[in-house]
Amino acid sequence: MPVKHKSLFEIQIPECEGDILQIQDLHFSYPDGHQALRGIDLSVCEGEKVALVGPNGAGKSTLMLHLNGILGDNSPVSVAGLAVDKENLSMIRALVGLVFQNPDDQLFSPTVFDDVAFGPLHMGLPEEVVYKRVEKALADVHMKDFGDRLSHHLSMGQKKRISIATVLAMQPHILVLDEPSAGLDPRARRSLINFLKGLPITMLVSTHDLRMVEDIFPRMVIMDEGKIVADGSSRDLLQDEKLLEAHGLETPHLSNQH
Amino acid sequence: MNFSPAPLHIPDGFLTIVVSAIFWLITIVMVGLAVSKTNRSLGEKQIPIMGVMAAFIFAAQMLNFPIAGGTSGHFLGGTLAAIVLGPWAGILVMTAVVGIQALLFQDGGLLVMGANIFNMGILTAVIGYGLYRLVIHQKKGIRLAVAGGGAWIATMAAALFASLELWLSGTTRLEIVLPAMLGVHALIGLGEALITVAALAYIEQTRPDLLNLDNSAREGGWGWIVSGVVISLLAVLISPLASGNPDGLEKIASDLGFLGSGLDAPFQILPDYSIPFLGDTAISTILAGAVGAIVLIGLVVLLGRNLHRQKSD
Amino acid sequence: MHVDVFDQYHFTPSRVHDLDPRVKVLITVLFILSNALLPDGSWPAFALAWLLLLVANDQSGLGLGFTFKRSVVALPFTLVAVSAIFSPQGSPLAVWDLGFITLIPTDLGLIRFFSIVVRSWLSVQIAILLVATTQFPDLLHALEHLRLPRTLTTIIAFLFRYLFVLTNEVFRILRAREARSAGLPGVKGGGKLSWQIKTTGSMVGQLFLRSYERSDRIYQSMISRGYIGHIRTLNPHYMERQDWLYLFVFILFLVIIQFVGWVS
């Protein structure tokens, strides 16, 4: 007895005029009064890979939640020319693939298949398409035969990959990752880095892993206390010891110095 | 993970079809109501909350604490769930917990699951939430005390109903199972009460917004208060009556046609039958009666205060 | 018992494993129902039911004694039924005077007791076979197809997913408690009972808050993937001829068992 779902809407990606992501003067306070974002301006061009770094509590995660309209609609954020408001919300969520830091929060279904199919199903895609999307997404993260596996049996590295597959199956235009390399052992981290490097998609990734930044991300944005304090080429910013230290970051031992 | 079966999880084979069916019926109605109520009144956010809360109750049941005589009791959580999530969501959460314990761990049966859900999910929600709802606008101390009292009564009521179900099925003799079950659960219920209070106090201290009083007050107050108080009173009154004088209860049951014929009407009291400590002695009857009276007076006082407060509003 | 105890048996290929989960759920419930319907003391029928169980064990490829070995967990509860032995109906078999209590076992009481034990033993075994041959998600799908309310199956799905995460959290909390529970020789450690309970209470409170905050994050991750209030899943299960056949044959056996039970 397969369940037939009506298609809610067909995704038609509007032409990206200039930047795929634009944020103008974004402010945000939590209900308890904590002011998390104090005027963020940021634009990301299609195909760009941007790292978002800064100490804990700088507002990185809060910013990321805004990209998907989870915190406050009607924010001065636009994705592919669409304003993030109630009307566009479903479209925005299909365009921006948000992967949370803890894969145990991202993978909430009993099986891997159920989780990867969740996004496409809730976009209202027909079943055949959902199956294809799931298959492709799992193949993309090199976890082809894991569909029937139970999520709680996976290793941390596997969970991280499946988490990424859960949003890749929605075929987003921007991939937003919260600390993807945290909690991974060196081998799993290396393999994740290689995987992200080869992924041909716009990416905005928050991390404390500056060596990964150097490896994958040509552009780097430093946040502190709810503001963007630096935005530029990673190579330059990573050399600036004073700047890094001022914002609680450690200079990595860059490979080009050896 | 070690999973210790609790005495409240009745396995298959211990209840007759009739008893199983009656409790399934009650349970299906209540769970059906709970599903439609939660669908209607709670936002879409409620689904993941109830799901994770069910896992929380399951996990919290692993935290055991020592009770007298080398045995250990563990937390049941029905009252806490009902107070924090509201009674309908509490019933659904406990239904899921009892269901998965039966399906995955064979802790409790399938055909008798209706009775188990009733004992551990529905009774605890009605009693725990109903009594708490009575004092929801009172001071913190009173609220916590009533939450603890509710947790204790709910545990006792669960034990009482489990005993009655077993007895009605002709599986056990009331004069043996009732004192044993009530005796053990008087202690387990004490642990339950203290943990419920400590947990509520902790939550209220760190995240008072989660015990959103206005929010839960919206959920049909008086129905819960009345059923909570009435069922608590019934439990409080039946327990001493039944442990002190099982013949009486047996007579009522057979008058009502429960204990029909043949093997289903098995037990009469042997004249020289008595059990020390909790059996047919004057002291235990008096003791049980006294506890009942105290609880009764407490409830009446609370009800009166609440009515008074409502009027003056 | 370990939470994952049955996972290792799910990948043994067998006819029972391949059956549609709905058929397995129905068979399990019907078998338990049939046991409950059998009159006390219908030993030939109980024996036949046990035989049916053995056949099912064998067909599952897990071995004849598979469920028997794992069913002992359920036995302690039979203590509750011991008092049935002293049912005053039936003829007394002996009189045991223990001083404070006089116990009179009767023949009908004994029959009643053993019937209860056999019924519960049979029922537990088929339930064990069900979970050992069916992955839990399939079981959930079966319940969905059998019209259990979606709200409830969704809660159970979350419960299944997170009970592993949260029990691990409990283990960490308990380990932390143990690591700090040093005992000095000759000193009764552990603190007062009231203190212990208070500690357990704050552990429960702490666990609650962590769980609550987790459900917040899960909700965010759900809405970021398009959730708007209704959970959708794909759970394709198709009844094939073999499924119908197995269901039919099993019911036929149960009818025979009932016949034997009531006629003999």
pLDDT tens for residues B302-313?
666 655 555 554
Chains that touch B (3 or more CB pairs under 8 A): C
Question: What's the count of helices (H) and strands (E) in chain A, helices before strands?
Answer: 10, 10
Query: Is there a contact between A151 and A162 (Cβ–Cβ < 8 Å)?
Result: yes
- Choose the closest CB to C226 out of A90, A108, A150: A90
Chain A: residue whose CA lies nearest to C218: A105
A contact residues 163-182, partner C, Cβ 8 Å cutoff:
166-167, 170
Residues C27 and C100 in one domain: yes
**CB-CB under 8 Å, A109 with C161:** yes
Looking at the complex, does the CB of residue C114 fall below 8 Å from at least one CB of chain B?
Answer: no
pLDDT of the residue at C130: 94
Chains that touch A (3 or more CB pairs under 8 A): C
Q: Is A225 left (phi over 0), alpha (psi -120 to 50) or beta?
A: left
Mean pLDDT of C138-165: 90
Identify from A67, A70, A98, A105 which residue to disrupt to test chain C contact, counting C C-beta atoms within 10 A and taking the largest count.
A105
Q: Identify all chain C residues contacting B106, using CB atoms and an 8 Å cutoff.
A: 71, 73-74, 124, 127-128, 131
Chain B: residue whose CA lies nearest to C35: B13
Residues C47 and C105 in one domain: yes
Residues C156 and C140 in one domain: yes
Residue, of C171 and B162, whose pLDDT is higher: B162
Residues C70 and C150 in one domain: no
pLDDT of the residue at B265: 31
Average predicted confidence (pLDDT) for chain C: 85
How many other C-beta atoms can be found within 10 angstroms of the C-beta atom of residue C69? 10
- Choose the closest CB to A1 out of C145, C157, C217: C145
- Choose the closest CB to C234 out of A96, A110, A121: A121
Query: Is there a contact between B304 and B135 (Cβ–Cβ < 8 Å)?
Result: no
In a domain, C129, yes or no: yes
Identify from C9, C153, C208 which residue to disrupt to test chain B contact, counting B C-beta atoms within 10 A and taking the largest count.
C208
Query: Is there a contact between C226 and A122 (Cβ–Cβ < 8 Å)?
Result: yes
Q: Which domain holds residue C68?
A: 7-134+239-263
Residues C164 and C80 in one domain: no
**CB-CB under 8 Å, B13 with C116:** yes
Q: Which amino acid is at B51?
A: G
Identify from A61, A64, A118 which residue to disrupt to test chain C contact, counting C C-beta atoms within 10 A and taking the largest count.
A118
Statement: residue C200 has pLDDT above 80: no
Looking at the complex, does the CB of residue A33 fall below 8 Å from at least one CB of chain C?
Answer: no
Phi/psi for A35 (5° steps) reads -90, 110
Query: In this predicted complex, what is the ipTM?
Result: 0.89
Chains that touch C (3 or more CB pairs under 8 A): A, B
**CB-CB under 8 Å, A100 with C217:** yes
**CB-CB under 8 Å, B166 with C100:** no
Q: Identify all chain A residues contacting C221, using CB atoms and an 8 Å cutoff.
A: 98, 100, 105-106, 108
For each of the domains in chain B, give its residue range(s) and CATH number, in order of start.
Answer: 17-260+269-312 (1.10.1760.20)
Looking at the complex, does the CB of residue C200 fall below 8 Å from at least one CB of chain B?
Answer: yes
**CB-CB under 8 Å, C224 with A68:** yes
In a domain, C186, yes or no: no
Identify from C221, C222, C243 which residue to disrupt to test chain A contact, counting A C-beta atoms within 10 A and taking the largest count.
C221
- Choose the closest CB to B56 out of C100, C124, C166: C166
**CB-CB under 8 Å, A111 with C226:** no
Residues C127 and C94 in one domain: yes
Q: Identify all chain C residues contacting A118, using CB atoms and an 8 Å cutoff.
A: 222, 225-227, 232-233
DSSP string, A174-218: EEEEESTTTT--HHHHHHHHHHHHT--SEEEEE-S-HHHHHHH-S
Query: Is there a contact between B120 and B98 (Cβ–Cβ < 8 Å)?
Result: yes
pLDDT of the residue at B72: 57
pLDDT in tens, C176-195: 777 776 656 655 555 566 67
Q: Identify all chain C residues contacting A148, using CB atoms and an 8 Å cutoff.
A: 135
Question: What's the count of helices (H) and strands (E) in chain C, helices before strands?
Answer: 9, 2
Residues C146 and C126 in one domain: no
C216: nearest Cα among A33, A70, A35: A70
Q: Identify all chain C residues contacting B208, using CB atoms and an 8 Å cutoff.
A: none
- Choose the closest CB to C157 out of A1, A110, A127: A110
Locus of tokens 């996972």 = C7
Phi/psi for C215 (5° steps) reads -65, -30
- Burial class from Cβ neighbours inside 10 Å (0-12, 13-18, 19+) for residue A10 reads exposed
Identify from B110, B113, B209, B269 which residue to disrupt to test chain C contact, counting C C-beta atoms within 10 A and taking the largest count.
B110
Which CATH number is A20-253 given? 3.40.50.300
**CB-CB under 8 Å, B66 with C201:** no
**CB-CB under 8 Å, C227 with A105:** no
In a domain, C2, yes or no: no
Instruction: Give the residue extent of every domain in chain A.
Output: 20-253
- Choose the closest CB to A130 out of C224, C234, C235: C234
Looking at the complex, does the CB of residue C181 fall below 8 Å from at least one CB of chain B?
Answer: no
Residues C95 and C124 in one domain: yes
Residues C57 and C87 in one domain: yes
DSSP string, A146-174: GTTSBGGGS-HHHHHHHHHHHHHTT--SE
The pLDDT tens digits along chain A (258 residues) read 333 333 333 434 444 456 788 899 999 998 888 889 999 999 998 889 999 999 988 999 999 999 988 887 678 888 888 888 888 888 888 899 999 999 999 999 989 999 999 999 988 889 999 999 999 999 988 898 898 888 888 998 899 999 999 999 999 999 999 999 888 889 989 989 998 988 888 999 999 999 999 989 999 999 999 999 999 898 888 888 889 888 888 776 655 544
pLDDT of the residue at A9: 38
Chain B: residue whose CA lies nearest to C34: B17
Looking at the complex, does the CB of residue A119 fall below 8 Å from at least one CB of chain C?
Answer: yes
Residues C45 and C79 in one domain: yes
**CB-CB under 8 Å, C139 with B103:** yes
In a domain, C1, yes or no: no
Low-confidence residues of chain B, pLDDT below 50? 1-5, 70, 214, 216-217, 257-283, 313
Q: Identify all chain C residues contacting A65, using CB atoms and an 8 Å cutoff.
A: 220
Looking at the complex, does the CB of residue C72 fall below 8 Å from at least one CB of chain B?
Answer: no
**CB-CB under 8 Å, B199 with C201:** yes
A195: nearest Cα among A235, A168, A172: A168
Rounded to whole angstroms, the Cα distance separating B196 from B201 reads 8
| Cβ contacts of A139 within 8 Å, gap of 6 or more | none
Residues C228 and C253 in one domain: no
Rounded to whole angstroms, the Cα distance separating C101 from B273 reads 6
How many other C-beta atoms can be found within 10 angstroms of the C-beta atom of residue A148? 13
- Choose the closest CB to C161 out of A68, A98, A151: A151
Chain B: residue whose CA lies nearest to C102: B273
- Number of structural domains chain C divides into: 2
In a domain, C169, yes or no: yes
Residues C141 and C205 in one domain: yes
